[in-house]
Structure 1
Amino acid sequence: MPQAIIFDKDGTLFGFTQTWAPWCVDLMRDLGRDDVHARALSDAVGFDLDTGTYAPDSPVIAGTPDQSADLMLPLLPDWHRADLIAHMIERPVTPVPATDLLTVLEALKTRNIPMAIMTNDSAAAADEQLAALDLAHYFDAIVGYDSGHGMKPDAAPLLACARLMNVPAQSCMMVGDSPHDINAGRAAGMRTLGVLTGVANAASLSAADAVIADIGLLPDWLDTQT
């Protein structure tokens, strides 16, 4: 059993499409001059404005706000990059839990398992979203792409989480919904667990040590591990 767990945020703790599709629809309508322009912006980030779904290979699924901004900026000549990034980070989002998070986190807490979050979103956004659900206090560390440790799929931010929890990296497990999460965990020498509450399917997460439907199954799954 791992001594500590590092979670991805979107697609792992929160359902990805349920959380970010409404946000993206509103953003595109806000930024777009008209319907044609809004659809062009949506296409740039791999989002279908009609169905409210992300393409499986959308570069923004595991990307950062900076990367999303760079994809749209050629279509937004009146925007400065820093302003667009700030606009996206500050734009409210309603996080939709992927499962009964309170029950899961309480179960892990009773096992005395330290927990951290490493997200390619901003640390401030993660703090705000978790605080809105009164869940931030369950985590020993919350690290974003802008926390100074880099971003997934690099190992560095996961190694930083391990240090912040004072647990050896090889004793941690990375839980995530994208190949970026799994590849980062493997690069950090950690066990990896994939979940299917993002856009990726099980085949896309085949490099993980195991794949489960959602983290609601995590406490029982841990009981089967040695």
Structure 2
Amino acid sequence: MNRSSIRAVLFDKDGTLFDFGATWNGWAGRLISKMSDGDAELAQQLAQACRYNLETKSFFPDSPVIAGTNREAAQCFTDILPQFTLEELETRLADEAANADLVPAVPLPPLLNRLRAADLRLGVMTNDTERAARAHLNKAGITDLFDFVAGFDSGYGAKPDPDPLLAFATHCGLKPSQVLMVGDSSHDLIAARAARMSAVGVLTGLASRADLDPFADAVLPDIGHLLDWLSITV
């Protein structure tokens, strides 16, 4: 892996651009409370289904919600809420997610502007919906800094498949070897390996260094350390 050959950076969203726990742990607790409407037993069932700890108000590390698609998150609740179709649950989750209060992992505009000043193309590929992704980027005031934004429903597929990553490379007119994928989950890094891209893990999600090390060229505390890793001084 030659860092000097990198011409584009593709970011995951949740746990990478935005701190996962600080953003989604409290959101999930409020969503479960709203969906259970005061029914403590139902709240516990919903929490168990998506692997969320109501006492600590945090996701368990093996929750399918962490790296899964919006559809996979909705599927957690179909047996418990049979009065709703899967499509209705997907819409409900997407609407709630689009309005989440996001906590950036680092100050994003300065970092992204420095990456762009180094002539790097930037993109976002998330297993969230594209609509929610754009809402979150808009809220953070950074949409215009990205050349490419895709969700699991954008027509390219979802991670850990490599296809959405390869779509970014094609969009930028680059070889996969010229693209760096940055993410907080093994899904992100496995997708990068399958696409023959460089892969950097960050620890602003719920995965540990030990979880990410086998698939990564490097594991960094957060995306703010990319500048040093890429030797960017501009």
Question: TM range, normalised to the smaller chain?
Answer: over 0.9
In 1, the alpha carbon distance for the partners of 2:170 and 2:30 equals 38
Q: Which residue of the partner structure matches residue 88 of structure 2?
A: 83
Gaps of 5+ in 2: none
**CA–CA distance in 1 between the matches of 2:169 and 2:44?**
41
Identity of aligned residues (%): 41
Q: Deviations over 1:132-164 (max 9, x none)?
A: 111001100001000011100000010011111
1:4 aligns with 2:12: no
2:177 and 2:229 map into 1 onto residues whose CA distance is 19
Work out the CA distance in 1 between the residues paired with 2:41 and 2:12.
Answer: 34
Matching of residue 15 in structure 1 with residue 19 in structure 2 = yes
After TM superposition, list the pairs within 5 Å mapping 1:106-125 onto structure 2: 106-125=113-132
- Structure 2 counterpart of 1:177, one-letter code: D
Q: Give the TM-score taking structure 1 as reference length.
A: 0.97
Q: Structure 1 counterpart of 2:81, which letter?
A: L
Paired with 1:133 and 1:120, the residues of 2 have a C-alpha distance of 19
Match of 1:198 among 205, 209, 212: 205
1:185 aligns to 2:192 (yes or no)? yes
The two structures, once aligned, show a CA RMSD in angstroms of 1.0
Q: Which amino acid aligns with 2:64?
A: P
Other structure's SS at 2:230 match: helix
CA distances 1:157-177 after superposition (whole Å, capped 9, x unpaired): 100111112211111010000
Q: Which of structure 1's runs of 4+ aligned residues deviate more than 6 A?
A: none
Q: Contact 1:116–1:165 at 8 Å: present in 2 too?
A: no
Tell me how many residue pairs correspond in the alignment.
Answer: 224
Amino acid at match of 2:216: A
Aligned to 2:70: 65
Aligned counterpart, 2:148: 141
- TM-score when scaled to structure 2? 0.93
Q: Partner amino acid for 1:90?
A: D
Structure-2 separation of matches of 1:166 and 1:93? 34
| 1:52 aligned residue | 57
Q: Distance in 2 between matches of 1:165 and 1:117?
A: 13
Shift of 1:71: 1.2
- Choose which of 219, 225, 230 in structure 2 pairs with 1:211: 219
Whether contact under 8 Å (1:149, 1:160) holds in the other structure is yes
Query: SS state of the match for residue 73, structure 1?
Result: coil
Contact 2:16–2:105 (CA under 8 A) maintained in structure 1: yes
**Equivalent in 13, 20, 30 of residue 34 of structure 2:** 30
Asked if the contact 1:177/1:197 (under 8 Å) is kept, the reply is yes
CA distance, structure 1, for counterparts of residue 52 and residue 105 of structure 2: 20
Q: Are positions 1:220 and 2:228 aligned together? A: yes
